[in-house]
Amino acid sequence: MTSFQLLSTDGLARRGRLTTPHGVVETPVFMPVGTQATVKGLLPEQLEAIGAQIVLGNTYHLALRPGADLIAEMGGLHRFMGWTGPILTDSGGYQVYSLAPTRRIDDHAAVFRSHIDGALFELTPEKAVEIQEQLGTDIAMCLDECPPFGTDPGRLKEAVGRTIHWAERCRAAHRREDQALFGIVQGGTDLELRGKCAAALVALEFPGYALGGFSVGETAEQMTAVLEASAALLPADKPRYLMGVGRPQDIVEAVARGIDMFDCVLPTRNGRNAQAFTMDGPIRLRNACHKRDSAPLEVNCPCYCCRKFSRAYLHHLFQADEMLGPMLLSLHNVAFYLRLMAAIRQAIEAGEFARFREVSLARWGDRT
């Protein structure tokens, strides 16, 4: 069984502990994204060594390839991908947004045109739950409709109604007692709709709740303006998960508003594109200024990349199009995010989060 304990608070920032069948997760936490049963470029033992507590997989992608039946036959997703810690799986709701040109949707289901072979794939709330139960993950997400920022008010209201209806169906279909099913609150930046959706989902008594529909076209300022009120709609004794939001400054601001869990592809995606995150802001390793720089990427970072290699070497790897470059920067970036979360937890415990937030945001400014 999964449980959550709120250990301390500092303002609205929360320090908690999420206990799952595959281990304990200290919150606030960042979950590296392993969409297709792998965090791109990183071995499970590397993730463990840099302090990853929980990783994320994707129901839609794993259902298409290699298939939930095959993963179940191989002993479940943990054994299949060689990761012994907790796993959370998204339901495919984000693909309702990201693959909008190749899908159709109604109250019954979302129907996708597979990006692999063009075959139709119908994803109902019941099917999303069934797939995640076959995968055997620790935390499963309800299927939801994630409308982009700027959606017509009438259409947004329809998406919220559908999200509630689908959450009810997911709740009824869920059977695994060793897997927690989280509800997802939609509503864009409309707090009235957020409140309606949250009230309906809280009544269903999920063990955890997510805020979806952020980082889908709105500015950081627009998100931040409604995030505190949105988080306050969720139970204080349950984990709060902000889906898909991952700039370091956005994470710090979200923690300040009561969020516990985060995921994003930025660490590995930006790593593949020669951008490194550091406590003093981002570094672009393709820039010529690094060609003869013997310094490590980040002086106080204990990751393998920073302990072993210079900026000059990393610059060379990207100039030569060598695969080791993206691998090393992905490793460093994920390590940075995990160090950031550990520092946040420590600051909350010490009652110094406000100062930590002030100093961090001053360092980073609005850089990404």
Catalytic residue numbers? 90, 263
**Nearest CA among 258, 226, 222, 223 for reference residue 240:** 258
Instruction: Please state, in angstroms and as integers, the Cα–Cα distance from residue 265 to each residue in 31, 118, 166, 316, following that order.
Output: 10, 25, 26, 24
Strands (E), the chain: 3-10, 13-20, 23-27, 29-32, 55-58, 87-90, 103-105, 110-113, 120-123, 139-141, 180-185, 209-211, 240-242, 261-264, 275-276, 283-284
State the Cα–Cα distance between residues 41 and 277, nearest whole angstrom. 17
Q: Is 123 helix (H, G, I), strand (E, B) or coil?
A: strand
Residue-wise burial string across 142-156, b where 16 or more C-beta atoms lie within 10 A, e elsewhere = bbbbbbebebeeeeb
Q: Which residues contact 284 (CB under 8 A, 6 or more apart)?
A: 274, 275, 276
Compute and round to an integer the Cα radius of gyration of the chain. Answer: 20
